[in-house]
């Protein structure tokens, strides 16, 4: 069964390709290598003994994407491709709306032209905005978002919901991620940010390995257990398995919305402590002012995914930190360049 995976060489996409192969699917990858490297293909082969078909290109290029649909008979599409840094989105909003929103519309148009109407979309908990109480439930209203990245995910969700309402034969799953962390237990695959990391765990990793002097903790005066921000951290392996589980919904028409999270909130200081345990030494950090728009705490209610997909997270924060450190030690400079 052929599954098109856009952005399949990225952090979450590559781990999902491994799980797809292990589950008996044939992932076929599109990636423009904006925030990934072609050498990831070799790592997928090392883990699975299989090299997926890879096409270099951009989902905004409809003739290119259409040519791939003409070569393969796809059962479904898992759509990861897009820009993903909140801070960068504030600086480059038009680029985020172009790649994330326009690109997602182009993809759906090509899918429709080729009569492939099973789609799993990589969304985000940012769509819940600032005003909903925790834990976040899929039925909550979305909006009140503080950055273009979050709005781009919201817009794609809405366009796909409208598409499903207009054309009833579509089956579209919207997977709302919380905070993916960790790495493949082999140490062969992990998060390899280009430039300064935008997320907590890879930044901690670079402090632990000595690439960066110290970590900045944005605020310690939130109304939380230790004053630092609380988030729901999910191991990337669990997240990848969630996408395979979502394939159960293909051919079931309509919109299917799932939170993919652990249902547990951990603070920044708890993440640091877990990483210190993993790497065996103290990590330097400093408390700085809060960032504008940051929320004190949020985590998932993932009971719908458990009930309908038979999916739930399996790994603890300590295990996530251990795998992250294992990847960082074995790959201090990330994936090799081509």
- How many Cβ atoms are within 10 Å of 69's Cβ, its own excluded? 17
* 99-105, Cβ contacts within 8 angstroms, sequence gap of 24 or more: 99/60, 100/149, 100/152, 100/153, 100/155, 100/156, 101/152, 101/155, 101/156, 101/159, 102/60, 103/58, 103/59, 103/60, 104/59, 104/79, 104/156, 104/159, 104/160, 105/159
d(CA 87, CA 270): 23
Which neighbouring-strand residues pair with 263? none
| CA-CA-CA-CA torsion sign (87, 88, 90, 91) | positive
Three-state SS at 294: coil
| Closest C-alpha among 114, 110, 105 to residue 157 | 105
CB 26 within 8 A of CB 2: yes
The tokens describing 17, both together, are 């390709």
| Closest C-alpha among 181, 185, 235, 194 to residue 333 | 194
To the query of whether residue 56 is one of the catalytic residues in this protein, the response is: no
Element (H, E) at 251: none
d(CA 25, CA 3): 7
Spot the catalytic one: 149, 160, 177, 275: 149
d(CA 145, CA 201): 23
Distances (CA, A) of 52 to 40, 43, 100, 127: 11, 11, 24, 32
d(CA 7, CA 185): 22
Residues with catalytic annotation?
149
């Amino acid at each position: 069964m052929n599954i098109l995976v856009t952005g399949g060489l990225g952090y979450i996409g590559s781990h999902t390709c491994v799980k797809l192969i292990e589950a008996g699917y044939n992932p076929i990858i599109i990636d423009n290598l904006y925030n990934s490297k072609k050498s990831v293909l070799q790592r997928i082969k090392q883990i699975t003994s299989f090299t997926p078909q890879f096409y270099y290109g951009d989902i905004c290029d409809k003739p290119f994407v259409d040519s791939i649909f003409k070569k393969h008979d796809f059962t479904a599409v898992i759509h990861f491709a897009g820009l993903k840094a909140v801070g960068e989105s504030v600086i480059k909003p038009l680029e985020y709306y172009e790649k994330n929103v326009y690109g997602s519309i182009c993809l759906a148009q090509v899918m429709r032209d080729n009569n492939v109407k099973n789609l799993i979309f990589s969304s985000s908990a940012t769509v819940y905005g600032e005003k909903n109480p925790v834990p976040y439930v899929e039925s909550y209203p979305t909006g009140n978002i503080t950055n273009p990245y979050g709005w781009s995910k919201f817009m794609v969700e809405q366009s796909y919901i409208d598409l499903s309402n207009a054309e009833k034969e579509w089956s579209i799953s919207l997977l709302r991620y919380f905070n993916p962390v960790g790495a493949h237990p082999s140490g062969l695959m992990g998060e390899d940010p280009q430039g300064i990391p935008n997320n907590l765990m890879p930044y901690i990793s670079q402090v632990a390995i000595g690439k960066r002097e110290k970590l900045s903790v944005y605020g310690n005066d939130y109304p939380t257990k230790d004053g630092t921000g609380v988030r729901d951290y999910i191991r990337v392996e669990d997240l990848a398995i969630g996408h395979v589980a979502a394939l159960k919904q293909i051919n079931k028409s309509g919109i299917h919305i799932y939170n993919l999270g652990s249902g547990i909130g951990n603070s920044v200081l708890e993440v640091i402590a877990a990483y210190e345990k993993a790497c065996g030494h103290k990590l330097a950090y400093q408390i700085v002012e809060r960032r504008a728009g940051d929320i004190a705490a949020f985590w998932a209610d993932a009971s719908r995914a458990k009930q309908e997909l038979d999916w739930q997270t399996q790994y603890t924060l300590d295990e996530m930190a251990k795998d992250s450190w294992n990847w960082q030690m074995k790959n201090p400079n990330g994936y090799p360049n081509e």
